[in-house]
Each structure stands twice: as structure tokens, then as C-alpha cells.
Amino acid sequence: MPREVAFQRCIDPACAATFGIREILNKCPKCGALVDVAYDENKLRLPKKLSGLGVAPKELKGLAATSGVWRFHQLLPFAPAGKVVSIGEGRTILAAGAPAAEYAGMKPGRLFLQYEGLNPSGSFKDNGMAGAFTHARMVGAKMACCASTGNTSASLAAFAAATGLMKAAVFVGSGKIAIGKLSQALDYGALTYEIEGDFDDAMRRVVEVSADLGLYLVNSLNPFRLEGQKTIMYRVLEGLGWQVPDWIVCPAGNLGNTSAFGKAFEELYQLGLIKRKPRIASINSTGADSFSVWWNDGRMRWNDHKFDRALVDRRYAKLDSRELKTNTIASAIEINRPVNLAKGLRALAWTDGLVRAVPDEAILDAKAVVGLCGYGCEPASAASVAGAKFLVEEGVIGRDERVVCIITGHHLKAPDVTVGYHSYTGEKFHHKFGEFGIRAAKLPNVPVRLPNDRAAIVAELRRASGR
């Protein structure tokens, strides 16, 4: 049988089994490793130069013709261009973010924010969902499901409602979901299940249940999600006039972004469209820092898929016994068992990347700075800016290197956190998820209480504006 342009392949080089593009695989049936979507280079229809990318093919229909994912169809042609699914995702921007550059200690104009909050459901997840939904339709799925800290479920629910192609069932950890995200799943009409426990618990169950019932799983184990997420990097390159930055800094949860970004650059490099790759910095919260602990303390590396699994087992045992707890205000990265660990390690090997962890305090201050740039974000997203600052202070990122921080989700996802932070007046910062020991919010914008009195208001404004 002549091989199609796209197929699936086990990521373990020792196995490298290949499978058809229409199979539904969350892992390799032969060895259990993750699988990639792969392409036959000779069958790709590519421009000669990088700057020729991003021009939507004529076959795209409806919203897909406007999609920031599908206009890069040339680099993810696993479905015919006329058959892709879109709700208008990926129309996002690369913003200058001068306050963030200054905050991170970078020279002016050297730090950028890739603002994915502009997606229809308000997070970068829509990029990947366009890929997964397209595959789900290819295989005739009737119902899709996911476990989620909130944004995957919001995205799945939005795609299901907006396209009417299938039903959605979402599993979230009880009490562990930001209010904006829960409101979306409910509003878009998804079947919504709160599983006792945290994300990792919900994740384990949804894998079992989807297998029991033959539901289409759209978690980032799903390789088609990662294909959609590659396009975030193409848009970054486009935003930089097709120049390759020095660093991509992104929050690290299940390592879907880390994996997808690494794959995007490795493929462009192998295809000869770029001459060098940026380094990827993957940023955990210290409240859920498995990846950082493995990478930095355990020296875990990709090592052609022979990474140190004993480290993983030891940590999972501690998590199982509750000796080790997961707790961060950055709920989207409150993940201690990253499902894409192997691909994440591979991405960092491909890009000479690294991992760091930043505390909640640093995340919340960085979040306030992203707000000051005019592009607010949810807590997890700000881990990128907090991580960039940390790496500049460490001397790992040079002040005049070019850095792109991925701002993964919109600030209205968790407005309670924002209001809590800006109401900080010297006492501890409280939040319904717990007390996060924020000793000092550095950039609170405390609302000022005034009497209902014209003269008093004028006096206060005069004082504040120096007039």
C-alpha cells in the first residue's frame, strides 16, 4: 500500500512502529510509548522559503479559511484541507509587552508576548482542539471526552457546540477548576463531571472510561492536538518577520506545548526552512514541579526514550501516599504527572532546552505585569514571564537575546484571583483554593474607597494625578 502523506509513529526509536492516520491511538499498541503524527517529507507541498508559509490554501472552507491553525495546513496535512474543522481559532498576536520586558530585566524590545487569550474559548487549547476535532470527524466519533484543569474542557465544549459534530463529556477535579472555565463548559452545554480528587485523578479515570465506552479522547496524549499547537510557533515566527527567536518560554503542565513547540522547530529544521532552533524553557510552578525536579535534581534526559523511569515511579509513589502534595494557584499547571513527559524531554533535547520552577508569588506578580501590558492572563500563563525573569537573573538568558513568552490563557478565566491580588492590603492573600502564603503582592492596584461626594472625589483625583 503506498504510504499516505501522513501516518502515525511510535516515538521510541527502538520501536518506531508506524500506523495509519485513521487509527485512534493514545499510545503505541506494540510498546506503550506515545505516538506522533509524522509526514512523508517527499509528499509535503512546501514553499521554498519560510516566509512563504501561512498563506491559507484555497481549499479551506468557511471559518477554516480564517483559522490561524489551518492556514499552515502545509505543515500539518493529516486531513485534506477541505475537511478540516475550525471555530476560528488561532487568530492571535505577538505583542511587544514593554512592561514585561522591563520587569524581566530584558533590554527594551527584546521580550514579546504571544497572546493566545484571543482564541474563541480564551486559551491556546483551541489550536490543538482544531486538530483533534478534525481527526475525530475523520474517524466518525460521536462523543469526545477529556480530563481537564479547565481550559481543555472549555475548548472541547466550545468545539462541540459551535460545530454540532459531536457531544462533549468533560471530567474535572472537584473544586479544582477556575470559575471562568467551569462556566464555559456549563454554558456550552457539555456533560460535566466533577471527579473527587485532582486533575491527575480525573485524567486516569477518563483514560479508562474512554476505553470502556469507545469515546474519542482529546487530552494532549492525543497526537493530533499537538499538531494544531505547532502553529503557535509558526505565528511567533511570522510575528517576528520570520526570524527565529533565541528563547521560547512557556508554562509547563502536561507538556503539550513544550512537546508541540519542539516538534514544530525540529520539523522546520529538518525540512531546511530554518537554520537554527530557539531554546525552549519549560516553566513549572513550585507547587507542581515534578518536571523540574526530574530535570534539575534527577538529571533526567530524553536519552532516546531511555529516560530514568525509576525517578518517575518514586515520585508517583510519594504522590500516591500523599507524602507529596500538589498545590498552586496556577491551576492550569497544577499537574504533577505530565502525560507528555517523554515528548517533553525529547523537545528539550532537540532545542537544548531546560526546566525551571517558579513560586506562586512570582507568578502572581508576573501576572500583574502582563496585565500592565494590556493583555491580561490567567495565573498559569504568567509562569512564562516569571520564568523569563528568573532565567535572566540566573544569567541563563542574556538581556539582549530575543525572548518570546507564551501567554496561554485569558485573564477572565480566573478573575477572582486577579481581584484578590489587587485587593491585597498587607494581610495574607486568600483564595478559595487555599492560602498561598503571598507575603507581599508587589504590584497591587488597590481600589480606592471614596464617599459619594463631589468635592472628596475631586480632591482624591487631584492628589492622584498631581493636578
List the grid coordinates of 120.
474563541
Contact 367, 373 (CB under 8 A): no
Q: Which does 38 bind (CB under 5 to 8 A by kind): Zn ion, ligand PLP, none?
A: none
Which position has the grid cell 529538518? 270
Question: 35 or 202, CB closer to Zn ion?
Answer: 35
Grid cell of 113 as nine digits: 508576548
Report the first-to-last Cα separation within the chain, whole angstroms. 79
For residue 410, CA distances in Å to 175, 378, 380 come to: 20, 6, 10
Residue number, 33 or 268, with CB nearest to Zn ion: 33
Binding to ligand PLP in span 222-261, by CB under 6 A = 251-257
Among residues 6, 28, 178, 217, which is the contact residue for Zn ion, using CB under 5 A? 28
Q: Does 290 bind ligand PLP (CB under 6 A)?
A: no
- Nearer of residues 15 and 319 to Zn ion, judged by Cβ: 15
Rounded to a whole number of angstroms, the minimum distance from the CB of residue 406 to ligand PLP is 8
Please state, in angstroms and rounded to a whole number, the distance separating the CA atoms of residues 338 and 322: 17
Query: Site residues for ligand PLP, window 266-285 (CB under 6 A)?
Result: none
Q: Which is nearer to Zn ion, 195 or 226 (CB)?
A: 226
CA distance linking residue 229 with residue 129, whole number of Å: 9
CB of 112 to ligand PLP, least distance (A): 17
Query: Which residues neighbour 353 within 8 Å (Cβ) at sequence distance 6 or greater?
Result: 258, 262, 279, 280, 281, 282, 347
Q: Which of 13, 14, 23, 30 binds Zn ion (CB under 5 A)?
A: 30
Phi and psi torsions of 405, nearest 5°: -95, 130
Report the partner that residue 151 touches, choosing among Zn ion, ligand PLP, none (CB closer than 5 to 8 A by kind).
Answer: ligand PLP
Is residue 25 within the footprint of Zn ion (CB under 5 A)? no
Contacted by 384, from ligand PLP, Zn ion, none: CB < 5 to 8 Å by type = none
Kindly state whether residue 287 participates in binding ligand PLP, applying the rule CB under 6 A: no
As a whole number of angstroms, the distance between CA 459 and CA 377 comes to 33
The grid coordinates listed for 300 are 533526567
Nearer to Zn ion, 8 or 381 (CB): 8
111-115 vs 93-95, strand pairing mode: antiparallel
Q: How far is the CB of 378 from ligand PLP (least distance, A)?
A: 5
Site for ligand PLP in 386-415 (CB under 6 A): 408-409
Question: Does residue number 366 form part of the binding site for ligand PLP (CB under 6 A)?
Answer: no
DSSP 31: T
Query: Does 184 contact ligand PLP by CB under 6 A?
Result: no
Q: What DSSP designation does 221 have?
A: T
**For 410, which DSSP code?**
B
The dihedrals phi and psi of 421, each to the nearest 5 degrees, come to -65, -45
Residues within window 114-153 making contact with ligand PLP, judged by CB under 6 A: 123, 125, 151
Measured between alpha carbons, how far is 467 from 463 in angstroms, rounded to an integer? 7
Pick one of ligand PLP, Zn ion, none as the site partner of residue 71 (Cβ within 5 to 8 A by kind).
none
Residue reference for cell 503582592: 441
- Is the CB of 138 or the CB of 330 nearer to ligand PLP? 330
253 binds, among Zn ion, ligand PLP, none (CB under 5 to 8 A by kind): ligand PLP
DSSP string spanning 44-101? ----SSGGGTT---TT--GGGGG-TTGGGGGG--SS-GGG---SSTT--EEE--HHHH
Residues in the interface with ligand PLP (CB under 6 A) total 18
Contact call for residue 334 and ligand PLP (CB under 6 A): no
The Cβ of residue 236 has, within 10 Å, a number of other Cβ atoms equal to 22
Contact stretch for Zn ion (CB under 5 A) within 19-27, 33-41, 77-85, 257-265 = 33-41
Residue 15 binds which entry of ligand PLP, Zn ion, none, CB below 5-8 Å type-dependent: Zn ion
Sheet of 18-19: strand order equals: 18-19, 6-10, 35-39
- β-partners of residue 62 are none
Q: Residue 87's binding partner, choosing from Zn ion, ligand PLP, none, with beta-carbon cut-off 5 to 8 A by kind?
A: none
**Closest by CA position to 102, among listed 329, 399, 405, 415:** 399
Minimum CB separation of residue 8 from ligand PLP in Å reads 20
Provide, rounded to whole angstroms, the least separation between the CB of residue 447 and ligand PLP.
26
CA 385 to chain centroid = 14
Binding site for Zn ion (CB under 5 A): 10, 12, 15, 17, 28, 30-31, 33
Binding site for ligand PLP (CB under 6 A): 123, 125, 151, 220, 251-257, 332-333, 378, 380-381, 408-409
